[in-house]
Amino acid sequence: MRMREMVARTGVSERLLRYYEDQGLLKPERLASGYREYAESDVDLVGRVRTLLAAGLSTSTIAQVLPCVTEKLEPTCPVLIDQLQQERDRISVSIKALEESRQLLDGVLSTPMVKSVTDSAQTTP
């Protein structure tokens, strides 16, 4: 299938598809005319890439992970488990930092001055 159909089937822009190709995540065939020709399996592959991106993995990590997972994202390479654990630990550290930032903001927002400003803004026409 050509680029336009791939965009329609995956919901991913042409720009992102080209980026995934640059990162080694997609490898469409090239026709003599230079057009990209995607395989049917590339639709599912883009879905796996999107899932792994949503999980917080970088495209460089995804490039290493993709050859070691099934279509259901089940690991097939023992070395992958260690790498994914490291990624999980990195994400956990980020989550902790974000939770601490949220608590700080909650403290600031709960001060009387902030409450009086937001109350007056809501009542002002």
Segment 77-102 shows an average pLDDT of 89
Does residue 51 surpass a pLDDT of 70? yes
pLDDT of residue 69: 78
- Distance, CA of 83 to CA of 78 (rounded, Å): 9
39 DSSP 8-state letter: -
Claim: this prediction has a pTM higher than 0.75: no
Does residue 42 surpass a pLDDT of 80? yes
Does residue 110 surpass a pLDDT of 80? yes
Segment 23-28 shows an average pLDDT of 95
| Cβ(63)–Cβ(23) below 8 Å | yes
